[in-house]
């Protein structure tokens, strides 16, 4: 049975699953695989070195799928501030109609996309930010719980409460994001009023994901205790895989008197993290991972993954129905 929600209708996709923006991972091959499997694949704009390269990535994705896909632009502190407006313009001019925005002060970007008739999914980690984004005209919110990979904000609100609060407060459709990698989490998200789910870490560990096989195997072997937060003291918290480099960063942050970004810049740079994915050494640099690593035990194709999730959600909901019926007897 298909899972039909406001998200599947709005985006014209079969399964209400969005592959969230992931630095160095959201490239055409994976994006097209997710879209071809019935979800929404999303190109991570900043993974491309410049707006011209993003144009090429969009063209390449179109050559691999005729299904809808989106582009993610994340606004966070960066060692080399990106040309956000240039990336946005390139994607709009290439005819992209769906955007995922995330990060700080997204107003200008959201207004630009909306003035060009695009659908905007905005990721946020508090209800207050979600309401501000609604005022800016976003179509869908991606409600990102503390479990998530990357930047969970500074408020530390877990998905269970955050999504229930979203159900109380929000009038626009919202996705559950953070900690979702299996059918139970997917079905629970629907129960919490979500119109679908956003998954990142789960898609890192698929056949079509562009990262080194050793890193996929590392995810399979790891547990929910294998991530840590860095940048807490800099108010730019990021959940990353627990390894030599992230533990070293935390040690420096905890020094008496604290740390300045310059003290850890070389350890945390994205260019170094990129080599983890290319060379397969999980201890070489910082790489994002959510606590959903503890739920991931295989490396399926995107098609297998989405089919398994669809069937699994049906089973979980069927089992719940049986529980309710039995308890009424
Ligand atoms: P980068 O090499 O510029 O920085 C590495 C990390 O340090 C990032 O997490 C960044 O937020 C953080 N950082 C940079 N300057 C900082 C400062 N002055 N204070 C505190 N923290 C600081 O990052 P990158 O890997 O080349 O990525 C480029 C951009 O994309 C960054 O803004 C990053 O946060 C963002 N990003 C996006 C996604 C996504 O899913 N779209 C995922 C990860 C990172």
Per-residue pLDDT at 220 exceeds 90: yes
Distance of alpha carbon 168 from alpha carbon 280, whole angstroms? 43
Q: Which residues pair with 18 in a beta bridge?
A: 40, 198
Listed in order, strand segments (DSSP E) in 139-244 are 140-144, 174-177, 196-199, 227-230, 238-241
Q: Which residues contact 323 (CB under 8 A, 6 or more apart)?
A: none
Instruction: State the residue for tokens 């999914």.
Output: 121
Q: Which residues contact 251 (CB under 8 A, 6 or more apart)?
A: none
Q: Which residues pair with 72 in a beta bridge?
A: 44, 100
| pLDDT tens-digit readout, 228-271 | 999 999 999 999 999 999 999 999 999 999 999 999 999 999 99
> Would the CB of 233 count as within 6 Å of ligand 1?
no
What is the residue-averaged pLDDT of the chain? Answer: 97
> Would the CB of 299 count as within 6 Å of ligand 1?
no
Q: What is the pLDDT of residue 1?
A: 81
Which is it for strands 238-241 and 227-230: parallel, antiparallel or unpaired? antiparallel
ipTM entry: 0.90
Q: Which atom of ligand 1 is nearest to the CA of 265?
A: 7
Per-residue pLDDT at 51 exceeds 80: yes
CA angle 143, 148, 152 (to 5 degrees): 75
Per-residue pLDDT at 326 exceeds 80: no
What pLDDT band is residue 328 in, cutting at 50, 70 and 90? Answer: low
DSSP 3-state of 98:
strand
Per-residue pLDDT at 200 exceeds 90: yes
Q: What is the pLDDT of residue 327?
A: 67
> Would the CB of 78 count as within 6 Å of ligand 1?
yes
Q: What is the pLDDT of residue 329?
A: 62
Q: Which atom of ligand 1 is nearest to the CA of 73?
A: 41
Of 65-74, 157-166, 220-229, 318-327, which range is least confident? 318-327
Q: How far, in Å, from the CA of 47 to the mean position of ligand 1?
A: 11
Domain borders along the chain are 6-211+296-328, 213-291
Q: How far, in Å, from the CA of 300 to the mean position of ligand 1?
A: 29
Instruction: Give the mean pLDDT of 79-93.
Output: 97
Q: What is the pLDDT of residue 325?
A: 75
Name the percent of the chain lying above pLDDT 70. Answer: 99
Let me know: does 109 contact 72? Beta carbons within 8 Å. Answer: no
Listed in order, strand segments (DSSP E) in the chain are 17-19, 41-44, 69-75, 98-103, 119-124, 140-144, 174-177, 196-199, 227-230, 238-241
Name which CATH class applies to 6-211+296-328: alpha beta
What pLDDT band is residue 324 in, cutting at 50, 70 and 90? Answer: confident
| pLDDT tens-digit readout, 283-311 | 999 999 999 999 999 999 999 999 999 99
Residue located nearest, by CA, to atom 11 of ligand 1 = 77
Q: Look up residue 152 and give its two tokens.
A: 């969970």
| pLDDT tens-digit readout, 270-283 | 999 999 999 999 99
């Amino acid at each position: 049975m298909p899972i039909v929600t406001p998200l599947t209708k709005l985006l014209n996709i079969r399964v209400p699953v969005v592959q969230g923006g992931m630095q160095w991972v959201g490239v055409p091959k994976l994006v097209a695989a997710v879209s071809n499997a019935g979800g929404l694949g999303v190109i991570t704009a900043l993974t491309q070195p410049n707006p011209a390269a993003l144009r090429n990535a969009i063209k390449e994705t179109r050559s691999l799928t005729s299904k809808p896909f989106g582009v993610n632009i994340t606004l966070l502190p960066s060692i080399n501030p990106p040309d956000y407006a240039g990336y946005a313009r390139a994607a709009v001019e290439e005819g992209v109609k769906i955007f995922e925005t995330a990060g700080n002060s997204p107003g200008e970007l959201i207004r630009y996309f909306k003035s060009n008739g695009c659908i905007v999914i905005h990721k946020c980690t508090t209800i207050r930010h979600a309401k501000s984004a609604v005022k800016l005209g976003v179509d869908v919110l991606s409600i990102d719980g503390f479990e998530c990979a990357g930047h969970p904000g500074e408020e530390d609100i877990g998905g269970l409460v955050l999504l229930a609060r979203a159900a109380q407060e929000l009038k626009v459709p919202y996705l559950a994001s953070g900690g979702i990698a299996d059918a139970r989490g997917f079905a629970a998200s629907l129960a919490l009023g979500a119109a679908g789910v956003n998954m990142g870490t789960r898609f890192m560990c698929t056949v079509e994901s562009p990262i080194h096989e050793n890193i996929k195997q590392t995810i399979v072997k790891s547990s929910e205790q294998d991530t840590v937060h860095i940048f807490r003291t800099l108010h730019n918290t990021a959940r990353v895989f627990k390894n030599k480099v992230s533990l070293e960063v935390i040690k420096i942050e905890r020094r008496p008197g604290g740390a300045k970004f310059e003290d850890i810049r070389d350890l945390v740079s994205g260019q170094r993290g990129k080599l983890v994915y290319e060379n397969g050494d999980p201890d070489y640099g910082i790489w994002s991972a959510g606590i959903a690593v503890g739920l991931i035990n295989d490396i399926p194709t995107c098609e297998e993954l989405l089919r398994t999730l669809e069937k699994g959600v049906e089973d979980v909901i069927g089992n719940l129905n049986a529980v309710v019926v039995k308890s009424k007897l």
